[in-house]
Amino acid sequence: MFVMELTYTAPVEAVEEQMDAHIAWLDGYYAAGVFLASGRKVPRDGGVILAGGVSRAEIETIAAEDPFTVAGVCAYTVTEFIATKTSADLATVRESPVV
């Protein structure tokens, strides 16, 4: 599983110009079952996406396709983790640690 942290690299006004395209991009990966949760950080200097079911290489490609990235208004930090414990709603994405 991945925590994708976006940090805005441009003023919020420039980010807002790309918002419709960014939301459409999000919707596509929600429909594909890759994105599990997302939202703005507080204070509003970026956002966070929780994703799973793909490889590290695939998640890096997905981040590069974000219209925010293409427009140069954000940078991503991607953290991979093993979700060994989840809520019942996320049971399908639980993972076993590699020993």
pLDDT category at 32 given cuts 50, 70, 90 is very high
Q: Are 96 and 24 contacting, i.e. CB atoms less than 8 angstroms apart? A: no
Residue-wise pLDDT for 43-67, tens only, equals: 999 999 999 999 999 999 999 999 9
% of the chain exceeding 70 in pLDDT:
98
The pTM of the full predicted model, rounded to 2 decimals, is 0.92
Question: For residue 87, is pLDDT > 90?
Answer: no
| Omega before 43 within 30 of 0, i.e. cis | yes
